[in-house]
């Protein structure tokens, strides 16, 4: 599987609770925080739900 780097670039303030929980599930707590994940279908699905809040790069 490929690795991806996910960085939060927009705030979760005034977002639906579901999107806030998706960011927490990815391990993102602060703005400009970066985490690495394996590109599994589950992770890619979560990223798709919050793609307007995060930036994704392949490693």
The answer to whether residue 56 scores a pLDDT higher than 90 is yes
Class of residue 36 by CB neighbours under 10 A (exposed 0-12, middle 13-18, buried 19+):
exposed
Say which residue, 1 or 43, is predicted with more confidence: 43
For residue range 9-51, list pLDDT tens digits in order.
999 999 999 999 999 999 999 999 999 999 999 999 999 999 9
pLDDT for 1 equals 80
Domains of the chain are: 3-58 (3.30.1390.20)
């Amino acid at each position: 599987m490929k690795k991806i780097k996910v960085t939060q670039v927009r705030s979760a303030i005034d977002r639906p609770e579901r999107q806030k929980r998706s960011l927490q599930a990815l391990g993102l707590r602060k703005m400009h925080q970066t985490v690495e994940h394996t590109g599994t279908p589950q992770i890619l699905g979560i990223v798709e739900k919050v793609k307007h809040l995060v930036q994704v790069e392949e490693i």
